Structure 1
Amino acid sequence: MLHPKLAVLIRRDGRVQLGWHSERAVIVRLPGPPDAVPKLLRLFDGTTELSQILCSASTLGFDAATTRALLEELAAAELLLPERPRGRLRTVRIHGRGPLSDVLLEGVRRIGLRAARTGEAEPARSARPDTARAARPDPARPDLVVLADALVPDPACAADLMRRRIPHLQVRIRDGHGVIGPLVLPGETSCLRCADLHRCDREPEWPRLAAQLLGRTGYASPAGVAAAAALALNELETVAHGNPSHPPATLNATLELNLDSHRLDRRRWIAHPQCDCGVMSGRVAL
């Protein structure tokens, strides 16, 4: 399909300019009515078969040879996007209460996915089943859950997602950084408990510190929230497209965006040898 970001412009001499970047714009002359060129280009939408494109182009005044030559020129200039396979991601549940959750809910819908939201309840503080259930997402099974805003996800919620084999992505703001990931595919990648165990290896006090962070959300300016949410939505778009040659960057990793300097780092989180997530039967893919 023709890249949707390209502006289609008609020059004074009838030639057509695709894009307006001084170094990357492409100018072509087509033996046909200039006013019909935008209609011709709209045929390159990624959903129309070549035979139908050629047929429709002929009704606009462009013969098959001209249309094929244009397609070849656009492909050579890398202005055509390859057909993108769709992944299995259709429904997303935003689990959280805070500014990131608000922005992500609207953003997920704009991507074209079905979205719902559950609020982050008080952390489970006892082993009573009714208390533990209160912190978990709605039982209706989504394709993916986004754990948003909470600095530390409730262990009961994370364990429930693993037990039910629901992929999940953590998104939060920590000390002036937007932190996206890891994206957990139960049985396929490292999990949130793996990350906790790695933190314990480096900081023995981590369990005590994490307990104090339960129920807290991070702070950022509206611009910082928007930047962190945009990075998370980009990951969700990547998952939704399901292109195996372009996997999500948050598999076994977090993306950490400094909201002041805008520096982006990627931190790896490999499976921890003491975590049993890798022995789960079967694998989950998106």
Structure 2
Amino acid sequence: MPSDSSSPAGRVLGPQLLPGALVLRRDARTLQIGTGPGVTIRDRPGLGRVLRLLDGSLPLPLLARAVARDVPDFTDDLTDTLTRLVAAGAVIAPPAEPVPRVAVRHDRSTSQFARLLRDGLGPPAIEPEVEVLVSAGEPARSTFEVLVAAGIAHLPVVLGEGRVRIGPFVVPGTSSCLGCLDALLTSFDPAWAALVPQFERTRLLPVGLPPRLLLQAAAETINQVECLLRGQRPSTLGRTLALGPEHGDADLRAVPLAGACSCGLLAA
């Protein structure tokens, strides 16, 4: 039997018997798959053992190899057999592999958190529609300026001092950006403008946030990205969401477009 570890994170990689369906024998020549009402098929040498390999963990090439090795008396064409079983509703074909649409980038301090995001968002896209950029402490602004100029949607995630800040989610030409956030913060604290250039320095910062908060922040980040990919408006579009360690500690704040910010030229 295939190992449970062969299918990462429970993903269906290959043909799979209808979940919950038993492989039963009706008579000497007939098998039945499932009971509700079930699908009857003519038995063939080795077919029962082949059916029991169909747990979704093996892509078709590996499944064919396993059948040839472990069920030598099965001599029918495996692909034709699976095609008939899928048509009969007894076997589920593996879903088409989704085209990667998101890339997750991170600094040296946040690789573990980035791994949580990749587990949820899938393999990285070569030419992403959306980039998620994770940093410990405030990130270098130059990276985001490049993304704005390139018209790539992006979501900064900052693992800060006791809190996680998600956003603003930036869709260039549509929403405010990280530069607009800096302008807003500078309006409250003029010295903020002197701090921003210092964020360009490379550094290695420890992440001391509690695991529960990191998991919550990862789930929320994935939710925000998937919302945009579905064509919906994520709550962090042009806003920041600050998550704290206490239950319900969430602060969503609007980031208005700054008149002097270069992202305003795209929206004009």
TM-score with structure 2 setting the length: 0.57
Aligned-partner residue type, residue 181 of structure 1: G
> What is the DSSP-based 3-state SS (H/G/I as helix, E as strand, rest coil) of the residue aligned with 2:237?
coil
Of 146-155 and 184-193, the range deviating more from structure 2: 146-155
Are positions 1:192 and 2:181 aligned together?
A: no
Of 177, 180, 201, the residue aligned with 2:163 is 177
One-letter amino acid of the structure 1 residue matched with residue 243 of structure 2: L
For structure 2, the residue ranges without an aligned partner over 5 or more in a row are: 1-18, 21-33, 40-85, 91-97
Q: 2:128 aligns with which of 136, 139, 142?
A: 142
Q: Following superposition of structure 1 onto structure 2, how do residues 1-286 of structure 1 map, counting pairs within 5 Å?
A: 36=36, 90-98=100-108, 100-111=110-121, 113-115=122-124, 141-214=127-200, 215-216=202-203, 217=205, 218-242=207-231, 244=232, 247-280=233-266
Structure 2: distance between partners of 1:161 and 1:89 = 21
* Contact kept in structure 2, 1:91 and 1:115, CA below 8 Å: yes
Structure 1: 5+ residue stretches without partners:
1-7, 10-33, 40-55, 61-87, 117-139
Q: Confirm or deny: 8 A CA contact 1:257 1:264 kept in the other structure.
A: yes
CA radius of gyration, larger in: 2
Separation of aligned partners in 1, 2:259 and 2:38: 58
Give the fraction of aligned pairs with identical amino acids, expressed as a percent.
Answer: 27
Distance 1:237 1:281, change over 3 A: closer
Task: Please tell me the residue identity of whatever aligns with 2:135.
Answer: D
From the superposition, tell whether residues 163 and 38 of structure 1 become closer, same or farther in structure 2 (CA, over 3 Å): farther
CA contact (8 A) 1:252 1:268 kept: yes
Cα displacement (A) at 1:252: 0.8
CA distances 1:74-106 after superposition (whole Å, capped 9, x unpaired): xxxxxxxxxxxxxx9942222212564433345
Cα distance in 2 for residues equivalent to 1:114 and 1:191: 26
Change (3 A) 1:110 1:152: closer
Indicate the SS of the match to 2:131.
strand
Query: Matched residues in 2 for 1:234 and 1:198: separation?
Result: 26
